[in-house]
Structure 1
């Protein structure tokens, strides 16, 4: 029988020990996005805004308990602590999807020479066209039954460091959905069937909004929005998006894994706009 109490106690103690270093690294990551000459300090910035937070201790306790419940065997204290990859978080907001291209390119340059990528970048999405978009960027995709949508990076200052930061990148429209879902559907899923269905509809409306903003910018500036941009995607209407279901998603290598959302918008920033 698995025992969460010693794991929770250990993880909270380790979290308190490195809290100062977490704060410093988080501030460094946030500043990199906010001051980058090609992403923020330019005539038409890619980054709209940036938020950050440290993990709340109560949420950390809940996270350890959830992760333990998903494991087949009891991990060691340190193994569990290393699984907690969102102790600090930075959220980067963009106006439209095409801006992911520039940001992803610059971020990979940074991690190839400096920060350590803990795992390959991953995009959570329900939209088939978004799957195709991220596939062309070389990013793996995963489907969450909650319709959670975001591009995730997990980094450490160096591979052996205990300090870790989760970076979420999403559009402003996707941020709206995340905040509504976080308020009504996390940590315990809503018991209202109507509310659950409306959240799914909202996800599709948000997808249509992001698609429309993409189209507006392409219309205003017919030239490519970024160097080495992906091939232009066909337009999806609001009516078409309303008919799309998660089962139509086909990721680059295999059918995406469907699993309950346990690391969605609830865990990033802890203030009003935090997960």
Structure 2
């Protein structure tokens, strides 16, 4: 079993002032007894840590778990520093297990900022907690972000070194004795930053100005990376929803195309096409769809197709011409849909003037549209011939 080094060597190694240490009234022999007792206890604590780690890894949003058992020398250092900070705090061999609550330390790492809520729920339902959970945030984090933690019953504090992390002190009782363990939950970017910060500054360069300034820049980069991660998840959700909408739209367009392919269309067919167009329009934002139609095909958008049907009269040539335009637009649109959730556009270098519609590109409100159909020269010539 390892033995604790001599008092003077220990104080020098951990940069504890001899005068401050003597003022605590601590006796080195008693600290040696704690050290030796803890050395014998560590294998049991390792079993506890392993069991808790396995439980945490079963939480779906947890990316990875790390754990450690507190180093024996660091335990003695912590006891001394706590006594220096507070003279009446007595920590001895009888109570150090309950007073030092991070003998077992675990970190549950997740990918995205918003994942913390489901992890929090699982931890709270799995272990009893010794105290209120603390959420450490950066100074300047939004009120809405803070409120999300407060609504879950967490105590929110600004961390003086600027990292985001949620800390739990859990109770566990594998046998007759009760132990405490600290679980820290944070994103993978916060973990990377805190590891670098801890390696560079802890515990003896905390106030180094240069380290502090450059590590704060790294801190902000980690925070920005977290925000970008959240944005990417929102983007993925949007694209998945858009993919579903596009598949539904394509099916409806194909159904309308079959109606248009009939040799003769009656009023019921026209009504069905109009209702179909209306249903497609409600499936989602038409911006992508309109952009696709405007790029290469002679029908500006679905709302305009609807307006064509409303304006078509009894004139045979006008009716045929309008139906042809609708068919071209629908056909072009279905060919241009990318089934992976978006649209593929023709090479802009290959576009020519005839592919760009002369009619208004966007019709924001069909109820406010002019009842007179815009005409290009070819339309006028066809109407003159028909007369």
| TM-score, normalization by structure 1 | 0.70
User: Equivalent residue for 2:81?
Assistant: 66
* CA displacement at 1:60 relative to structure 2: 1.6
For 1:194 and 1:185, the matched residues in 2 are separated by 11
Q: Provide the residue aligned with 1:189 in structure 2.
A: 205
Q: Structure 1, residues 163-202: CA drift from partner, whole Å, max 9, x if none? A: 2211111101101111111111101124542221111222
Q: Is the 8 A contact 2:39 2:72 kept in 1?
A: no
- For the residues of structure 2 that align with 1:85 and 1:219, how far apart are their CA atoms? 41
Deviations along 1:57-89, whole A, 9 cap, x unmatched? 122222112211111315151344422111111
Whose radius of gyration is greater, 1 or 2?
2
Task: State the shift of 1:7 in Å.
Answer: 5.2
Residue of structure 2 aligned with 1:142, choices 139, 143, 157? 157
Q: Could you tell me which residue of structure 1 aligns to residue 193 of structure 2?
A: 177
Q: Which runs of 5+ in 1 are unaligned?
A: 41-45, 224-275
Query: Which range moved further: 157-166 or 117-126?
Result: 157-166
* Superposition map of 1:75-224 within 5 A: 75-77=90-92, 78-111=94-127, 116-127=128-139, 128-129=141-142, 130-158=145-173, 161-190=177-206, 192-222=208-238
Gaps of 5+ in 2: 1-22, 240-387
TM-score by length of 2: 0.50
- What are the superposed Cα offsets for residues 12-33 of structure 1, whole Å, 9 maximum, x if unpaired? 2332242222111111100001
Aligned equivalent of 2:38, options 12, 15, 21: 15
Provide the alpha-carbon RMSD of the alignment: 2.3
Which residue does the alignment assign to 1:3?
Answer: 25
Q: Is the 8 A contact 2:129 2:170 kept in 1?
A: yes
**Within 2, Cα distance between the matches of 1:97 and 1:150?**
10
Q: Secondary structure at the match of 2:113?
A: coil
Cα distance in 1 for partners of 2:89, 2:29 equals: 11
d(CA) in 1 for partners of 2:123, 2:208: 40
Q: How many residues align?
A: 211
1:216 deviation in Å? 1.2
Residues 6 and 203 of structure 1: CA distance in aligned 2, closer, same or farther (over 3 Å) = farther
Deviation string, structure 1 residues 255-275 (Cα, Å, up to 9, x no partner): xxxxxxxxxxxxxxxxxxxxx
Deviations along 1:77-115, one digit per CA (max 9) or x if unpaired, are: 13444221111111111001110011111111112xxxx
Higher RCO (CA 8 Å, separation ≥ 6 residues):
1
Flag the 1:83–1:213 CA change in 2: closer, same or farther, 3 A.
same
Contact 1:18-1:163 at 8 Å conserved across structures: no
